A and B are shown apart, each in its own frame.
Chain A
Amino acid sequence: SAVISQKPSRDICQRGTSLTIQCQVDSQVTMMFWYRQQPGQSLTLIATANQGSEATYESGFVIDKFPISRPNLTFSTLTVSNMSPEDSSIYLCSVELAAYTGELFFGEGSRLTVL
């Protein structure tokens, strides 16, 4: 398994502002992902964070709204830009210790509330 630390664990934000979530893993991993879990919904993949290159975004998610950085194999950030109440959600960082297996380990999540 892996120890995955996310910061902040929760925050209350004002409409129109941006917030950056950090994800730190205790070991080097190839695959890191960012998921969103809206109230009463399941997990939706936002993007795959690629080390040293631009993230790969899923349909419905764009870089301008969710810029992602991945400077090395243990760290990534997700920024939620120009937030609206619809962005209120739990954002989860996850890693795949064995590449391309689908066996994910998740951080504890960052619960964002946008007023």
Chain B
Amino acid sequence: QKEVEQNSGPLSVPEGAIASLNCTYSDRGSQSFFWYRQYSGKSPELIMFIYSNGDKEDGRFTAQLNKASQYVSLLIRDSQPSDSATYLCAVSMNSGYSTLTFGKGTMLLVSP
């Protein structure tokens, strides 16, 4: 049974702070890792993906992957109130048949 675990939150941070969102996964064969953002009442949208160990930066977002520890995180620098949303971690075996296993998400609240 593949599992993706996230703290449900809410994670509350003040505007301008760094928000750190964490995710662990159970399947060691997982190859691809994704972060989706879901605003209340809206559908998820992809914000980051990472395939290799280490850090990947895209603007204010940094994804970090540690396959040995089966751990992936998302850092949001200079958090803005518009970043308030639920962040879903998703994992794929990416073995030629691409399906994702999603975590339940962490709610982030950025206060002005």
With both chains docked as a complex, state the minimum distance between the C-beta of B106 and any C-beta of chain A, in angstroms: 11
B92 at the interface (CB under 8 A from A): yes
A101 and B32 form a contact (CB under 8 A): yes
Report the tally of A-B residue pairs with Cβ distances under 8 A: 55
B44 and A96 form a contact (CB under 8 A): no
Across-interface contacts of A96 in B (CB, < 8 A): 98
A106 CA / B88 CA spacing, docked (Å): 13
B98 and A102 form a contact (CB under 8 A): yes
| Chain B residue at smallest Cβ distance from A93 | B43
A109 and B98 form a contact (CB under 8 A): no
A45 and B32 form a contact (CB under 8 A): no
The 7 closest A-B pairs by CB, nearest first: A102-B92, A106-B43, A100-B98, A42-B102, A42-B104, A43-B102, A102-B32
